[in-house]
A and B are shown apart, each in its own frame.
Chain A
Amino acid sequence: MAVIADFAVQGIEMLLVLLLAPLLTGFVRKVKARLLRRQGPPVIQPYRDLIRLMRKEVVLAESASWLFRVVPYLIFAATWVAASLVPTFRTGLLFSWSADLIAIIALLGSARFFLALAGMDVGTSFGGIGSSREVMIASLAEPAMMMIVFTLALIAGSTQLSTMAEFMASPAVGLRVSLALALLALIMVAIAENGRIPIDNPATHLELTMVHEAMVLEYSGRHLALIELSASLKLVLYVSLIACLFMPWGLKPADAGMPDLAFGVAAYIGKLALGAFLLAVFESSIAKMRVFRVPEFLGAALMLGLLATLLRFVSRSF
């Protein structure tokens, strides 16, 4: 019986992130539009876009190979699995032990690897420029992320996200310098990983300034829908990650009852909304960087992460 309940909770978790993902993207767009004193599209517009794209036929470039057609499903699968392993409203999910935080980061790395390959598949110059820039950004963002993981894992004594979140919710954490550095670095990495301003502009149509959009330029129809959905899922994943590590309030333990879980879901949605709002405010108040300023931005994140890890190595009290 307990196993079935666990399965149900894991299933709800997977569906929840999947269903909330377009909403979060729509919400960010709405807030950004309102900040610019525009009306903006309704928050459910991304769902409509997805459904419309799914129904359309795929226009495939003549030089595209089988890889190009497989990649959207691969990316979606990797991102969805990664997103469903992050605790959202309850810790100790059934399959949380199957991959720890390092594995989740690596799953996102897999998704990026294949997306970058897809960008090169058709053999156009825009795809190449996107892929080449994406891997340059990733080559700095991934080690920075790994340093953040190191810091948090050393504080919590585990790389298991459920254990980490439980530890973060306990009073044993306290205020630490290394935590502050890690949070700052994590936000910087999250912005870069999701291709938000100032690294990349998700709404841009100026070809030379785009990274992610250049890679997926040749995609259409259901393939494009899956890639957009994966991008939304990734945003949910990062907001959930920051929420469960740095705002673990409302996160319910594994043995919580039904009313508690309902409260947990409500708290989770509140945290998502807060994260989206802050992201929109941040994006509206900053200009996009030149591409070759990005390494400096991410290098700073890497150094912050390394500093935080070093502090943890040197003393337990930092």
Chain B
Amino acid sequence: MTLWITLSCTAILLLVAVFAVAAGREAAATYVVYGLCALAALTSLLATLQHLLGLAPPAIVTLPLGIPWLGAHFRLDALSAFFLAVVDLGAVTASIFAMGYGRHEEAPLRVLPFFPAFLVGMSLVVLADDAFTFLLSWEFMSLTSWALVMSHHRLQENIRAGYIYLVMASFGTLMLLLAFGLLAGPEGHYTFAQIRAAHPTAGLAALVLILALTGAGSKAGLVPLHVWLPLAHPAAPSHVSALMSGVMTKIAVYGFVRIVFDLAGEPAWWWSMVVLAVGGFTAVMGVLYALMQHDLKRLLAYHTVENIGIIFIGLGLALAFKTYGMATASALALTAGLLHVFNHSVFKSLLFFGAGAVLTATGERDMEHLGGLIHRMPQTAFVFLVGCAAISALPPLNGFVSEWLTFQAILLSPQLPAWGLKLLVPTVGALLALSAALAAACFVKAFGVTFLGRARTSAVQCATEIDRFSLAAMYFFAALCLVAGVLPGLFIDALAPISDALVGASMPSQIGTQWLSIVPIMASRSSYDGLLVFLFMVLSGTFSAFAIHRLASDRLRRAPAWDCGYPDASPATQYTAGSFAQPIRRVFGTVVFRAREHVDMPAPGSMQPARLVVDLRDLIWDALYVPIALAVGYAADRLNRLQFLTIRQFLSLVFAALVILLLVLAIWP
């Protein structure tokens, strides 16, 4: 029943997309389209929640669509219900946000039809129960999101972003296609149930892991396959950026979990090491890239890369524990990773909404041109601050809970027998701690430069608060950050059926523990109570404020800033994003980015000012992508001659291809 409801919701969304094509030019279309999207997604969310809370058994539906002898299989089990809930939650809130934000769109016809279609694509990926439907939905999701990235298609940088995104998305789908091809085997067992029943050989499974990691990883943004992400996510309208960063990357995580934990059979000993190493590297590189940015949306996009790394660290630990039969530890690590999926979808969407609000109010994405927005947009500043604190893993908000669980999982890993893991896991733990600390630094920068201080341009001085729809969406997610932080037990319990299904155990039920604290293993080992910490902080903060105002003094006087006696009137003397990151750039960037600073001195007699120039090199781009691009260009030049053959030569080429294929088929065992 629930599956039928969710499927009809996706059908309704498709109809909405068609309607948007027809009526997109009307003034009211924005309200109607996004309103309908919100309603459909909300219905789907309610149906899914029923499933997630264990009130409905796994459901299977086969529709006579797609390949005739196969049909389209759909299934709603615990794992897909969780990811569908993430999609729907993001979709509802993004639609509500867009009811206000979307009105500022210059060309609504370039956004309105693709937005519901994008939601359809994401929902169908998680519902698909055969390889064909999965890949078709995956490609549909990629193409619709590509169209949304290209909605402002006249900007040169967006064209480049769209191109790189298209190439990387095709590459990812190709990898997944090959992975499913290997899993399906020569007989072509495309349904997931058949794939699950057939146990692939060790070599085949290893290939599948690598293909899934590159295929899903390129969509999720694992370093070094992340290059499209910081270009494409900021290029889209902000509510789409929120969905791409907050939700679509999670669909990639879903693809990885579905293939590796569910379909590919028993993991080999080295699988977890690959996943852990990639996850740790991604986490640190993502945040270091983010620290070097001064475009607000690009900074957020790079942070998605970091958080995907954290999620993959959790998944890698789960895989390691699963390999060695430590089911409860595996359940803890998997729950940590999945909880971070949910948490990140909430606060990253919130932050992108905030960036969108700033963009609407000021027309600026560059932090160096912002500043002091807390005075002009106090409410946006408040919710953005909540998002910043949550993503920086500060208690008592939700980001801390999932990182805390990941740390707890790391602390269980000395029991792993493999030597490689014994050396790798502590290193990954250090990388995780480093990326958490750097993330906090990065969000001090993001919030401090954008919202605090004094206005740097006149655009900021006439900024006004964003509309009510957008604010409602942001307040909702900010509240969710707090709720998931103080009552994490509810969310952990909801994830129990997933880990039961995938690793054969689940974390102990959290809802019955005293004072609603969370206890991963046992109380004497570790426990955390977000609610109590929150209450303690509120109590001691209000108590001290009350006591001081009552007993000591509550007088206040406004005066010019002190600044050691030499206040400078110009806002240009404030710290900027570049200068704020300078110490960290010197510590980490000299190695990672070959950061060099030099002063451009004007020639004698010239009236030009001297400039301090910072050179940063993206070594991954230079080492990996530039050679590939050069090789492709070289090959294209060589193959260019094939365009100018005669018809006889073309026909002989076709004939030769036919003969070779027949030979291969004849020799094939």
The residues of A with any CB-CB pair to B shorter than 8 Å are: 51, 54-67, 73-74, 76-78, 80-81, 95, 97-100, 102-103, 106-107, 109-110, 112-113, 116-117, 119-129, 131-133, 135-136, 138-143, 146-147, 150, 153-154, 157-160, 163, 207, 217-218, 221-222, 225-226, 291-292, 295, 302, 305-306, 309-310, 312-314, 316
Residue of A nearest to B529 (CB): A98
Q: Is the CB of A129 within 8 A of B434?
A: no
- Contact digits for B439-474, partner A, Cβ 8 Å, 1 yes 0 no: 011011101110011100000000000000000000
Q: Is the CB of B454 within 8 A of A123?
A: yes
Residue of A nearest to B287 (CB): A139
Q: Is the CB of A123 within 8 A of B452?
A: yes
Q: Is the CB of B430 within 8 A of A73?
A: no
Q: Is the CB of A124 within 8 A of B426?
A: no
From known contacts A58-B555, A124-B563, infer whether A81 and B536 are also in contact, taking CB-CB under 8 Å.
Answer: yes
Q: Which of A116, A140, A302, A312 contacts B414 (CB 8 A)?
A: A312
Q: Is the CB of A221 within 8 A of B437?
A: no
- Contacts of A95 on B, CB cut-off 8 Å? 532, 536
> How many residue pairs, one in A and one in B, have C-beta atoms under 8 Å apart?
289
Residue of B nearest to A95 (CB): B532
Q: Is the CB of B411 within 8 A of A159?
A: yes
- Contacts of B374 on A, CB cut-off 8 Å? 65-67, 121
Q: Which of A77, A135, A306 contacts B444 (CB 8 A)?
A: A135
**B571 interface residue, CB < 8 Å from A?**
yes
Most buried by A among B447, B541, B542, B557: B541
From known contacts A54-B548, A81-B537, A126-B563, infer whether A121 and B453 are also in contact, taking CB-CB under 8 Å.
Answer: yes
Q: Is the CB of B378 within 8 A of A131?
A: no
- Contacts of A76 on B, CB cut-off 8 Å? 540-541, 544
Residue pairs across A and B with Cβ atoms less than 8 A apart, 5 shown, are: A60-B557, A60-B558, A67-B381, A125-B575, A310-B423
A interface majority secondary structure:
helix
Q: Is the CB of A125 within 8 A of B568?
A: yes
Residue of A nearest to B515 (CB): A98
B593 CB to nearest chain A CB (Å): 16
The 8 A-B pairs with the shortest beta carbon distances in the complex, nearest first, are A128-B575, A123-B453, A120-B448, A77-B541, A146-B433, A57-B555, A135-B441, A136-B583
Most buried by A among B392, B429, B573: B429
Measured in the bound complex, the distance between the Cα atoms of B548 and A124 in whole Å is 28
Q: Which of A56, A63, A73, A100 contacts B528 (CB 8 A)?
A: A100
A268 CB to nearest chain B CB (Å): 21
Q: Is the CB of B557 within 8 A of A59?
A: yes
Q: Is the CB of B526 within 8 A of A159?
A: yes
From known contacts A65-B452, A128-B579, infer whether A103 and B395 are also in contact, taking CB-CB under 8 Å.
Answer: yes
Q: Which of B394, B426, B441 contacts A110 (CB 8 A)?
A: B394
Measured in the bound complex, the distance between the Cα atoms of B399 and A102 in whole Å is 14
Q: Is the CB of A207 within 8 A of B564?
A: yes
Q: Is the CB of A57 within 8 A of B553?
A: yes
**B494 interface residue, CB < 8 Å from A?**
no
- Contacts of A123 on B, CB cut-off 8 Å? 371-372, 452-454, 561, 571, 574
Most buried by A among B441, B567, B571: B441
**B523 interface residue, CB < 8 Å from A?**
yes
**B135 interface residue, CB < 8 Å from A?**
no
Q: Is the CB of A58 within 8 A of B434?
A: no
Q: Is the CB of A154 within 8 A of B414?
A: yes
Residue of A nearest to B522 (CB): A158
Residue of B nearest to A307 (CB): B426
**B43 interface residue, CB < 8 Å from A?**
no
- Among the stretches B196-204, B240-248, B400-408, the one at the interface with A is B400-408
Measured in the bound complex, the distance between the Cα atoms of B389 and A64 in whole Å is 20
Q: For residues 365 through 387 of chain B, which have their beta carbon under 8 Å from a beta carbon of chain A?
A: 371-372, 374-375, 378, 381, 385
Measured in the bound complex, the distance between the Cα atoms of B542 and A73 in whole Å is 8
Q: Which of B425, B444, B515 contacts A131 (CB 8 A)?
A: B444
From known contacts A117-B452, A123-B372, A158-B524, infer whether A58 and B556 are also in contact, taking CB-CB under 8 Å.
Answer: yes
Measured in the bound complex, the distance between the Cα atoms of B571 and A128 in whole Å is 12
Residue of A nearest to B585 (CB): A136
Residue of A nearest to B539 (CB): A77
Measured in the bound complex, the distance between the Cα atoms of B91 and A39 in whole Å is 68
Q: Is the CB of B444 within 8 A of A150?
A: no
B590 CB to nearest chain A CB (Å): 11
Q: Is the CB of A107 within 8 A of B564?
A: no
Q: Is the CB of A77 within 8 A of B575?
A: no
**B582 interface residue, CB < 8 Å from A?**
yes
- Contacts of B559 on A, CB cut-off 8 Å? 59-62
Q: Is the CB of B437 within 8 A of A147?
A: no
Residue of A nearest to B513 (CB): A97
Q: Is the CB of A113 within 8 A of B444?
A: yes
Most buried by A among B381, B413, B427, B555: B555
Measured in the bound complex, the distance between the Cα atoms of B517 and A98 in whole Å is 7
Q: Is the CB of A313 within 8 A of B548?
A: no
Measured in the bound complex, the distance between the Cα atoms of B401 and A103 in whole Å is 9
- Contact digits for B503-535, partner A, Cβ 8 Å, 1 yes 0 no: 000000000000101000001111111001100
